[in-house]
Amino acid sequence: MQRALRLAGSPGVPLGPNPRVGCVLLAPDGSVVGEGFHRGAGSPHAEVEALEAAGDSARGATAIVTLEPCNHTGRTGPCSQALIEAGVAKVVVAQRDPNPVAGGGLETLADAGIEVEHGLLVDDARALNRAWTFAHENGRPFVTWKFATTLDGRSAAADGSSRWVTSVTARRDTHVLRALCDTMLVGTGTVEIDDPQLTVRDADDRPLPQQPLRVVMGERDLAADRRVLDDAAETVHLRTRDPIEALKTLYADHERHHVFFEGGPTLAAAFLEAGVVDEVVAYVAPLLLGAGRSAVGELGITSIGDARRLDLVDTVVLLPEEDGELINLRLTLRPEEER
């Protein structure tokens, strides 16, 4: 199973919309007769690739798969049926498929007389497809809220200026994290004030070939000259103020699994109040402003005892690349209740 997990996480495999899956086929004597991994939507699934590699040696073999074999016909046929037709004797799965459309493969295999097991290294398998698993289990994308702030919690100065709170190194680091998501989301206020392009760029400031969906949330119209409306990536305008409604739409209508949220303080407060912030990434600069726009708006908290608590998951020191720039910290946190 460890080998299957490494195959599933092979470099270059797209993070979505399909899960990353690996498969290893073992002969009765324990030798490997075939292996494969899913390379992206429309390509053969891991089980099919492994079966093709094994040929006739698949008969009587044990299939070790990181995710339950699919049980439906999409762009490709059901892997459960392919395993049955190949004469596999046993299937060991790490994670059950949370997608109601594709799940049920183990039952189909068992009904065909194939021995099945599941749960081996399941936590590793879930971590491999963290956002995909979360989205299918919760009916909405996983949300990472990213913001940049001074030591006193300001995201902009009193005159509205915010470029740049963070260093060049921190901004490049942000693009690395953006590339791990399939959706960039801001509010209409951010588009109006900051005019972001919301694309993912490399260290030389060149756009990457694959771009997340750009989403603007809010009821106001967008000016036609806003950069988020250019042809650098697809953009969707969700005319709602309800974070839960917006996220359900992104999951159901656009097959989105991981939202990188860079909205302003008002929308950030709305997401927090709705309980749909699953991870926080904060870039902290050693600056003091004393006044200006805060990173998050009103949360209705009047006592320190009611403060929203976060667990620190990771801390990264981002050293400056240019003279005169300051060291930044990148803090990754999660809501305490999700422990």
Q: Are residues 241 and 331 in the same domain?
A: yes
Question: Is 179 annotated in some ligand binding site?
Answer: no
When computed from its CA atoms, the radius of gyration of the chain, rounded to whole angstroms, is 23
In tens, the pLDDT along 243-289 reads 999 999 999 999 999 999 998 999 999 999 999 999 999 999 999 99
Task: Name the average pLDDT for the chain.
Answer: 94
Number of domains within the chain: 2
CA distances from 302 to 268, 270, 317 (A): 18, 17, 33
Q: Are residues 53 and 146 in the same domain?
A: no
Per DSSP, 201 falls in state B
Question: Is 187 annotated in some ligand binding site?
Answer: no
Q: How many CB atoms lie within 10 A of CB 122?
A: 15
In tens, the pLDDT along 85-116 reads 999 999 999 999 998 888 899 999 999 999 99
Q: Are residues 148 and 186 in the same domain?
A: yes
Report the alpha-carbon distance of residue 338 to residue 138 in Å, rounded. Answer: 14
Whole-structure pTM value: 0.91
The whole-number pLDDT of residue 182 equals 96
Question: Is 265 annotated in some ligand binding site?
Answer: yes
Q: Are residues 65 and 120 in the same domain?
A: yes
> What is the DSSP code string of 117-160?
EE-TTHHHHHHHTHHHHHHHHHTS-EEEEEEEEETTSBSS-TTS
Question: Is 68 annotated in some ligand binding site?
Answer: no
Grade residue 74 by pLDDT with cuts at 50, 70 and 90. confident
The whole-number pLDDT of residue 157 equals 92
Q: Are residues 84 and 159 in the same domain?
A: no
Domain boundary among 70, 100, 132: 132
Question: Is 252 annotated in some ligand binding site?
Answer: no
Question: Is 213 annotated in some ligand binding site?
Answer: no
| Contact assessment for residue 41 and residue 70, using Cβ atoms and an 8 Å cutoff | no
Grade residue 9 by pLDDT with cuts at 50, 70 and 90. very high
Q: Which long-range contacts (CB under 8 A, 24 or more apart) does 77-80 make?
A: 78/105, 78/108, 79/45, 79/46, 79/47, 79/48, 79/105, 80/104, 80/105, 80/106, 80/108, 80/109
Report the alpha-carbon distance of residue 162 to residue 268 in Å, rounded. Answer: 17
Question: Is 240 annotated in some ligand binding site?
Answer: no
- Catalytic residue ranges: 47
Q: Are residues 306 and 241 in the same domain?
A: yes
Report the alpha-carbon distance of residue 164 to residue 120 in Å, rounded. Answer: 47
The whole-number pLDDT of residue 337 equals 67
The CATH number that applies at residue 157 is 3.40.430.10
The whole-number pLDDT of residue 69 equals 96
Q: Are residues 93 and 187 in the same domain?
A: no
Domain boundary among 132, 153, 170: 132
Q: Are residues 48 and 189 in the same domain?
A: no
Among 6-10, 115-119, 171-175, 333-337, the least confident range? 333-337
Please give the residue range of the domain that contains residue 168: 139-338
Question: Is 268 annotated in some ligand binding site?
Answer: yes
Question: Is 155 annotated in some ligand binding site?
Answer: no
CA atoms lying within 13 Å on the CB side of residue 40: 7
**204 pLDDT exceeds 60?**
yes
Q: Are residues 186 and 309 in the same domain?
A: yes
| Parallel/antiparallel/unpaired status of strands 115-118 and 62-67 | unpaired
Question: Is 266 annotated in some ligand binding site?
Answer: yes
Domain boundary among 85, 103, 132: 132
The answer to whether the peptide bond before residue 164 is cis (omega within 30 degrees of 0) is yes
Among 71-85, 186-200, 279-293, the least confident range? 71-85
The whole-number pLDDT of residue 339 equals 41
Among 32-36, 157-161, 206-210, 321-325, the least confident range? 321-325
